[in-house]
Structure 1
C-alpha cells in the first residue's frame, strides 16, 4: 500500500510486530458477536478509546498498523454521530499488519471513562449496539 498515513488500532490483545489483526474474532463491543470487519483510526485519541474500552483483563495497547487491503469510512461514526469523518475512523474486511506499538500514550481521565461507560450502558439498555455491521 502506498498510503503514508499512520493508522492505529486500540485493543487489550497482547500482540507483536508482524502479527495480523483481522475480522472473524469476537467483537470487543456490544453482544460480542463475530466481527465482520476490523477497525482502525488515523487518530491516537480514537485508538486510545479502543484500548480503554476493549474487553479483557490485560492492559490497553495501541498498535501502529498497516492495512493489507482496502479500507472504508467506519459508518458507526461517520455521518451517524459525526458529520464527515473527523475521528478518521475506518474499517476493513482485510487484516491489518502490526508494524509497531505506541508505548507512551495517555489515557482519558477517570471522569471521561465513566461518562463513556455510562453512555454505552444507556445504549445497551435501549437495545442499541455500539457497532453495527
Structure 2
C-alpha cells in the first residue's frame, strides 16, 4: 500500500453532488459509479483531467462539479488506475477512507467532447457486461 501525503498539493474531486465550502466528502454513501454500493473509499486527484472524468461519469442528474478538496487523513494510490491502467500513477489519482474537506469549487473547466464521453461510456458498459467493476474495493 503506497500511502501518500503531499503538502501544498491541490486535490480535486469530480461529482454531481451539490456541496459547499467546509462540507466533508465521506465514505459510506452510495458510490457515484459501478453498482452504486456503499463506498468503502472516496477518490481524489491532483489533476483536473481526472476530476473532469469523475464529474462527467458520476451517476445522477445534478450539475457536473469539480471541487478542490483537502484530505483529512492519509491517501493512497488508486489501485483501480495505477495497478491496471496507468502504472506509476501519471493520473495522480488517489483514494482514502478519511473524509475530504471541500475548500472551494472549480467553476471554469472544459469537459470532454461528446465523442470522448460516448467512447468512455461504451467502454465502461462493455466492462460491466463482462462483470468487471469500474471501481474495485
Normalised TM-score (structure 2)? 0.95
Matches within 5 A, 1:28-67: 28-67=32-71
- Displacement of 1:59: 1.0
What secondary structure, in the 3-state scheme, does the structure 1 residue paired with 2:101 have? strand
- Displacement of 1:87: 0.3
- Displacement of 1:2: 7.2
Q: Determine the C-alpha separation between the residues in 1 that align with 2:83 and 2:56.
A: 24
5+ residue gaps in structure 2? none
What's the RMSD between the two structures over aligned residues? 1.0
Match of 2:22 among 15, 18, 24: 18
Q: Determine the C-alpha separation between the residues in 1 that align with 2:18 and 2:94.
A: 22
- Displacement of 1:19: 0.1
The alignment of Structure 1 onto Structure 2 pairs a total of residues equal to 133
Q: Which residue of 1 aligns with 2:93?
A: 89
5+ residue gaps in structure 1? none
Q: Does 1:8 align with 2:23?
A: no
Normalised TM-score (structure 1)? 0.98
For residues 16-44 of structure 1, give each alpha carbon's deviation from its aligned partner in whole angstroms, at most 9, with x where no partner exists: 00000011110111111100000000000
